Every structure is written in structure tokens, then in C-alpha cells.
């Protein structure tokens, strides 16, 4: 069946792109559109042409798998030139060509619409150029047609931020010519017929840029460039600015040639490969497991959270923000009052910043019902336990939940390190128990670790994945082991940061090295934000069981800070100190004193440490332990680990995550670094057996 259907209705040729689920533009679709437009131009029964999409959207973008085939600049240039030429043929149509847009016109979909003479859209349509999120720029004329149609400011916004415009904003920007409130195709056919009657065509590439607008356009480009930090993370943004600027200063054909060159340079870059890797990794991580025939995942219409502390309050907000009524339980009204005051303060702040209307804030807040008993828990579909991180308390809570909830209610724990199977056993119905590990602050952080226990049913995992997407989270299914994936690997990251401090680096140097690498904050600033007491209590629990968070020496400094009451920002001091009312980290000499004392006790001669060693040590520790996590089957794929670290801890997306980064620098290089550190520091730097196996077999990819 053709991916573009052809029909003539009342003298208008209607071409319908039909490539489910989102009409992505693969080579077959591009060719079919080209062929269908040529047919319509030659058809004496048609006076004008309407191009639209079947299903729920116009065109959501190019088929991203095509980019994986563009492995050289030459191949990318060739592909881009083909698409440019095809769109120019569409634009040369002798009959008015109208794009009828519903749903999304994104990326190549918008570039296709831009090559039409006119665009009409439904009120809920959204139009954008999100290529920058994949580390590339529009490669089919988007940076050249947009400034001619909408002006430089709109072109820069669309091409450098990836943020789409809604139909009303697109109409105001002259990106669409008409918003159709009723039947889209009927309105589009009428609009096209009127243009045919007037013999009106408007090829976008032929639109002149007014001479008096050029200075302002160039100034907008200069300001946009100055606002972007140079470096690989912003390669695509800077390329987009250059290409939009070319759209102002160069003829269309010359600007298009340079657009193709910039597109090709971006698409073969490591940064674009990393971002495309994450795109597919996030999609794979969210994929539902296969279920037996007749088994349908439970829909969560009502939820409950047990524990109204920081995490519990944040999780309650997550449900309310998604429009799901939620009970928030704690032992007394005073605790609940404090929690609701904090929640209200968060919504008030959102109102002040224009992110919420006052009415919207009140509606959302009304979805959270504070309770001190389990009386209403029989009506909920899911309970998230978020009590204090104490195994005995959590076990007791799960035993209580078993008696107050329906037999098919999903029982989830927000534990970050404790054994899900122990809690499942306490519930008496382990198939319904699952880990839902949110990251703090829960209402802002996107990662959602879904922890599959030994007996967790596939239907509960599927329901959890569906729920996570509804909550606006990025879900990753992981196995049940201490720390799961995120916190297990974090222990090795922090171990090296702490030891580097003892060996001679400073807190500020280590944080600066990691932020230069691309993290939003360094390891010490991160701990100050999260609270040093959290890690201290985990270490206390482990010591009570005779365990530790990672192999090798464990710095004494974090526990010393905990003993001193330095919990981070919330107490005004942690690894840094903070002035009252400020979150600006200030260096504190006490940390240097503690580092010297710790080094002396461990008989370490402190030395100068380079930023390169800092980055190498912590990223190698992550990659090596990531291979152990895979070998232990706690993560299903290396790409799942990348999703966890990019969304949970801010590993730079343009580097693709710790495992993709390891592949980028080469698995033999990673192994040689582990072996070097083992020789220098001791056998706690033992290479992962999986890493050794991959290198021995000559593999370049961890996943296969």
C-alpha cells in the first residue's frame, strides 16, 4: 500500500501521508510525496493540492533511523541535497499547494510544510524544528525558509531551542495562514480552491527579506551567539545560528548549500550520535513487556502516598500534577500541615513565575487529600510507600498495607537502596509489589527507576511503565539489588571523588572539572543539595549489616561532616558553606583541614592532581561498575544505564551517558585505565569481567 493516498475531491487533489504511527518521513515517504504532487500537477481534474496526514498527526518528523546511515559527511551531504531538490520541486508546483496540519508538524515535517505555498492548521496543532535536541540542524531548508517567512527572531527560536509553536503563535508569526476551527480538510480544500481561483502561489524560498530588517536580524544572531557557551555541547545550536544568519545574508541556493554542509558536520559528530543514542535508549527503556493474552495492566485512577516527608510530599505532587487524585498519609495532622504548607508554597512560586494560573494551582492542590488513617485506602489503585529509609519501618508499613488495600492494588516502595523482595514478602502478595524509585525533588526530576522484584508480575511492571509516562517521567526497569542501578553506581563515582579530595584535589577543583565535562553540578555540590544526612544514614544501615557501598577505601570525611551537623544547603554548611538565605557555595577551610587529616591517617602523600585525572577516575569508575551491573543482570541494557545517569544525575547528554561515553573513547582504553588504577591504588580497582570479555572479543559496543 502506498504511503501517500491520492484523491480528487471537488476539484482539489488531496494527498494523505499514511505512515503509522506518526507519519515519519523515510525515503519511501519522501518519494511518494514527490510522486503524488507531480501526479496532481499533471491531473486536469485538480486545480489545487492539499497535503495532509492520516491518523493523529501531520508529520512528526523524519525517520531518525535514517540518520544512523549517514556515517560520513559526504553521504549526509548527498542525502540532504536529495531532500532539498525534492522540496524545491514541490515548491515549483504550478498549482497552489496547501499543507493541512493537525497534531504535529515537526522537524522534516515542518520543512515539508514550509515547501508548500500555504499552511492551514487546527487549533491544537504544534509546529517546530526540534532537530537541535538530536544534535543536528534542519537539513532540508528549514533555516533558509523560516527567516523569509517568519523573520529571524522566530527562526532562531525554533531552530535553537527546539520549542514548538502552537497554532495561535504560528498564525501570529505568519508560519500558518489560517487556523481552521471546524473540519480541517474541508477548510483546507476551500482555502486551496480560493487560491486556485486567484491563481495565487507563494513559494517560500522566493519571499524577499526586507532590506531594512537585515540589521536587526544580524544583531539578533549576534546576541544569540553570544548567549551560547562555545564547546561541543552547543555545536548544533551554534550551527543553527550560523545557518539562520546565512538565510538573511545569502541567496537561497547559497544558504542552502551551507545549511547542508553544517547539517552534515553535525549529523556525523559524536555529540549527535550520543543524543540519538539517548533518543532510542529512552524509547527502548519505556517499552512495555509482553503480557499473556487477556492480561491488561491496571490503570491508576486514584493513588495514595504513605509518608509526608520531603519525598512523600514531592511524590504526591507528581500525581496531582498529572491530574490523579492522591491521598497523602502521615501519623499526625501537624506533619501533614507542614507538608501541605510546603506543597502550597511550591505551587505559589509556580504561579508567581507564570508557570501556573492561580486557578490551576488550586485545582491541583485540591487533588491532594491529607489523611492520618488508612480508612480510604481500599479505593486506591496504587500506594507508594515513602516512609523513613528504615527496613523495619518499611516492612511494618507493607504488612499494614496488605490489610487495608484491595487485593489487586499495586504496592510500590520508594526505597533507594533497600531490598524490595523483603518488603514484598511482608505484604503477603509479592506479585503486586514493585519499586518506584523517584529522585529528589520528585516533582522536578524526570527519572523513575522501576524495580522488578523476584515475584513482581509483568502486568505490574507494565502498569508502572504506563503510569510513569503519564506522570511525565522517564522510566527504566531495573533489577532488585542494593542501590539498584543509580545508587549502586553512584557509590563508585563518589568514592573516587572523596579519595581524590584526600589525595590533593580540592572540592571546588573536582566540582569544576566535572561541570566542565558537562555535569550541571559536581559531586560535592550535588551532595549538598541532596543532603549529606541521606548518605550517612545509608552507610549506618550498611555498617549494621556488615556491608559497604563500594569496594576499596572509604573516605572518613563524609561521616565527619555528618557528625558536625553539616548536612548541606539545608543546614548552611556541608562540603561548602552558605550565607543565610543564599545557595551560593563558598569554599570552607575546614574541608581542607579534614582532607589533610584523612590523608595523614591513610599515609597518603598529597599531590597536585590534574582535571584530566579527575574526569578519568570518576567516569572510569562509573563505566567499570556499569559493566558489573550488566554482568549481574541488574540492568537489561547498557543504554538503560545511560538513561538512568543522564536523567538521574545529569550526566551530559551530549556524551550519551557513562556507557556510551566508554564506547566513544574505546573499551580497550577504559580497560587499560582500570588496569592502571589497579596497579597504582590496589585491587579494589579490579576490572569488570564483562569489560575484559568485551575487549578480548574485540567488541566496540557494550550492548552488542
Secondary-structure class of domain 303-483 per CATH? alpha beta
CA-CA distance, 687 to 668, in Å (whole number)? 12
Classify burial at 572, counting beta carbons within 10 Å of its beta carbon; exposed 0-12, middle 13-18, buried 19 or more: middle
CA-CA distance, 175 to 172, in Å (whole number)? 8
Nearest CA-CA partner of 438 in 256, 309, 576: 309
Residue 535 confidence (pLDDT):
86
pLDDT by residue (tens digit) across 391-440?
Answer: 899 999 999 999 999 999 999 999 988 999 999 999 999 999 999 999 98
Residue 1 confidence (pLDDT):
55
**544-548: long-range contacts at Cβ-Cβ below 8 A with a sequence spacing of 24 or more?**
547/482
pLDDT band for 42, please (50, 70, 90 cuts).
Answer: very high
Q: Does residue 694 have a pLDDT over 60? A: yes
Strand order in the sheet with 178-179: 4-9, 12-17, 48-53, 97-101, 118-121, 178-179
CA-CA distance, 602 to 553, in Å (whole number)? 9
Q: Percentage of residues in the chain with pLDDT exceeding 70?
A: 100
Helix ranges (H only) for 268-407 are 270-285, 310-321, 333-352, 358-366, 391-404
Q: Does residue 548 have a pLDDT over 90? A: no
Mean pLDDT of 655-680: 97
Q: Percentage of residues in the chain with pLDDT exceeding 90?
A: 90
Q: DSSP class of residue 261?
A: H
674-683: b (≥16 Cβ within 10 Å) or e: beebeeeeee
4-268 classified as CATH 3.90.226.10: yes
Q: DSSP class of residue 432?
A: G
Instruction: Specify the residue for cell string 524509547.
Output: 283
Nearest CA-CA partner of 663 in 631, 694, 621, 629: 694
Of 288-297, 609-618, 669-678, the range with the lowest mean pLDDT is: 288-297
pLDDT by residue (tens digit) across 242-251?
Answer: 999 999 999 9
State the cell numbers at 284.
527502548
Residue 477 confidence (pLDDT):
96
Residues of the chain with CATH 3.90.226.10: 4-268
Q: Does residue 153 have a pLDDT over 70? A: yes
Q: Give the chain's radius of gyration (CA, Å).
A: 28
CA-CA distance, 493 to 81, in Å (whole number)? 45
Residue 552 confidence (pLDDT):
83
Residue 499 confidence (pLDDT):
96
Specify the CATH architecture of the domain 487-633+637-696. Orthogonal Bundle (1.10)
Crossing angle of helices 142-150 and 252-267, in 10° steps, is: 130
| Strand intervals (E) in 456-499 | 474-479
pLDDT by residue (tens digit) across 310-333?
Answer: 899 999 999 999 999 999 999 999
pLDDT by residue (tens digit) across 213-243?
Answer: 899 999 999 999 999 998 899 999 999 999 9
pLDDT band for 291, please (50, 70, 90 cuts).
Answer: confident
Helix ranges (H only) for 552-666 are 557-563, 589-601, 611-631, 638-648, 658-665
- On average, the pLDDT of the chain sits at 95
Classify burial at 563, counting beta carbons within 10 Å of its beta carbon; exposed 0-12, middle 13-18, buried 19 or more: exposed
Tell me the catalytic residues: 111, 131
Tell me if 282 sits within 8 A of 133, measured CB to CB: no
**Residue 395 to residues 44, 428, 654, Cα–Cα distance (Å):** 76, 11, 41
Tell me if 282 sits within 8 A of 251, measured CB to CB: no
Residue 429 confidence (pLDDT):
95
pLDDT by residue (tens digit) across 186-204?
Answer: 999 999 999 999 999 999 9
Residues of the chain with CATH 1.10.1040.50: 487-633+637-696
pLDDT band for 704, please (50, 70, 90 cuts).
Answer: low
pLDDT by residue (tens digit) across 485-534?
Answer: 999 999 999 999 999 999 999 999 999 999 999 999 999 999 999 889 88
Residues of the chain with CATH 3.40.50.720: 303-483
Mean pLDDT of 291-295: 81
Amino acid at each position: 500500500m502506498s504511503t501517500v493516498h491520492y484523491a480528487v475531491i471537488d476539484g482539489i487533489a488531496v494527498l494523505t501521508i499514511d505512515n503509522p504511527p506518526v507519519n515519519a518521513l523515510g525515503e519511501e515517504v519522501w518519494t511518494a510525496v514527490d510522486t503524488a504532487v507531480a501526479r496532481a500537477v499533471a491531473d486536469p481534474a485538480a486545480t489545487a493540492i492539499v497535503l495532509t496526514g492520516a491518523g493523529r498527526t501531520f508529520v512528526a518528523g523524519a525517520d531518525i533511523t535514517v540518520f544512523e546511515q549517514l556515517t560520513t559527511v559526504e553521504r549526509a551531504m548527498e542525502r540532504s541535497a536529495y531532500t532539498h531538490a525534492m522540496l524545491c520541486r514541490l515548491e515549483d508546483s504550478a498549482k497552489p499547494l496547501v499543507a493541512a496540519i493537525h497534531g504535529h508538524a515537526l522537524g522534516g515535517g515542518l520543512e515539508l510544510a514550509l515547501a508548500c505555498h500555504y499552511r492551514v492548521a487546527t487549533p491544537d496543532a504544534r509546529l517546530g524544528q526540534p532537530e537541535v535536541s538530536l544534535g543536528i540542524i534542519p537539513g532540508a531548508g528549514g533555516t533558509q525558509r523560516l527567516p523569509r517567512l517568519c523573520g529571524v527572531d522566530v527562526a532562531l527560536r525554533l531552530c535553537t531551542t527546539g520549542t514548538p509553536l502552537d497554532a495561535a503563535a504560528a498564525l501570529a508569526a505568519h508560519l500558518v495562514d489560517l487556523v481552521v476551527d471546524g473540519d480541517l480538510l474541508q477548510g483546507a480544500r476551500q482555502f486551496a480552491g480560493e487560491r486556485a481561483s486567484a491563481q495565487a502561489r507563494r513559494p517560500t524560498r522566493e519571499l524577499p527579506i526586507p532590506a531594512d530588517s537585515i540589521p536587526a536580524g544580524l544583531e539578533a544572531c549576534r546576541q544569540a551567539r553570544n548567549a551560547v557557551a562555545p564547546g561541543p555541547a552547543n555545536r548544533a545550536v551554534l550551527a543553527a545560528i550560523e545557518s539562520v544568519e546565512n538565510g538573511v545574508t545569502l541567496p537561497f541556493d547559497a544558504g542552502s548549500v551551507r545549511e547542508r554542509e553544517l547539517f552534515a558536520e553535525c549529523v556525523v559528530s559524536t555529540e549527535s550520535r550520543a543524543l540519538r543514542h539517548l533518543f532510542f535508549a529512552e524509547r527502548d527503556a519505556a517499552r512495555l513487556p509482553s503480557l499473556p493474552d487477556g492480561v491488561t495492566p491496571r490503570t491508576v485512577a486514584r493513588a495514595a502516598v504513605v509518608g509526608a516527608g520531603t519525598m512523600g510530599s514531592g511524590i504526591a505532587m507528581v500525581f496531582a500534577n498529572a491530574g490523579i487524585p492522591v491521598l497523602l498519609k502521615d501519623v499526625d495532622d501537624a506533619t501533614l500541615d507542614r507538608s501541605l504548607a510546603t506543597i502550597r508554597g511550591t505551587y505559589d512560586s509556580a504561579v508567581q513565575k507564570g508557570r501556573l494560573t492561580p486557578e490551576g494551582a488550586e485545582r491541583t492542590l485540591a487533588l491532594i487529600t491529607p489523611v492520618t488513617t488508612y480508612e480510604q485506602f481500599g479505593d486506591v489503585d496504587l500506594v507508594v510507600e515513602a516512609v523513613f529509609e528504615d527496613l523495619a519501618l518499611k516492612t511494618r508499613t507493607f504488612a499494614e498495607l496488605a490489610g487495608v488495600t484491595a487485593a489487586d492494588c499495586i504496592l510500590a516502595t520508594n526505597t533507594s537502596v533497600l531490598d524490595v523482595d523483603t518488603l514484598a514478602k511482608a505484604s503477603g502478595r509479592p506479585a503486586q509489589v514493585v519499586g518506584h524509585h523517584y529522585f529528589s525533588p520528585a516533582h522536578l526530576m524526570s527519572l523513575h527507576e522501576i524495580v522488578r522484584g523476584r515475584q513482581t508480575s509483568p502486568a505490574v511492571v507494565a502498569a508502572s511503565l504506563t503510569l510513569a509516562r503519564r506522570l511525565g517521567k522517564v522510566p527504566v526497569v531495573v533489577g532488585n539489588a542494593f542501590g539498584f542501578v543509580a545508587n549502586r553506581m553512584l557509590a563508585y563515582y563518589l568514592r573516587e571523588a572523596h579519595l581524590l579530595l584526600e589525595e590533593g584535589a580540592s572540592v571546588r577543583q573536582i566540582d569544576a572539572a566535572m561541570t566542565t565535562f558537562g555535569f550541571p553540578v559536581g559531586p560535592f555540590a550535588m551532595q549538598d543539595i541532596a543532603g549529606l544526612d541521606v548518605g550517612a544514614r545509608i552507610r549506618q544501615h550498611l555498617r549494621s549489616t556488615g556491608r559497604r557501598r563500594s569496594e576499596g577505601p572509604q573516605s572518613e570525611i563524609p561521616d565527619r561532616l555528618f557528625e558536625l551537623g553539616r548536612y548541606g544547603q539545608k543546614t548552611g554548611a556541608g562540603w561548602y558553606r552558605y550565607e543565610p538565605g543564599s545557595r551560593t557555595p563558598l569554599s570552607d577551610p575546614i574541608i581542607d583541614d579534614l582532607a589533610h587529616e584523612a590523608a595523614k591517617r591513610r599515609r597518603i602523600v598529597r599531590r597536585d592532581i590534574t582535571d584530566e585525572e579527575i574526569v578519568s577516575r570518576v567516569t572510569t569508575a562509573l563505566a567499570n561498575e556499569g559493566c558489573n551491573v550488566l554482568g549481574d543482570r541488574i540492568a537489561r541494557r547498557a543504554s538503560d544505564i545511560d538513561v538512568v545517569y543522564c536523567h538521574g544525575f545529569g550526566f551530559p547528554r551530549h556524551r550519551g551517558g557513562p556507557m556510551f561515553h566508554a564506547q566513544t573513547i574505546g573499551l580497550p582504553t577504559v580497560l587499560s585505565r582500570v588496569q592502571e588504577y589497579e596497579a597504582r591504588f590496589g585491587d579494589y580497582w579490579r576490572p569488570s569481567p564483562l569489560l575484559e570479555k568485551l575487549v578480548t572479543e574485540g567488541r566496540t559496543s557494550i550492548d552488542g
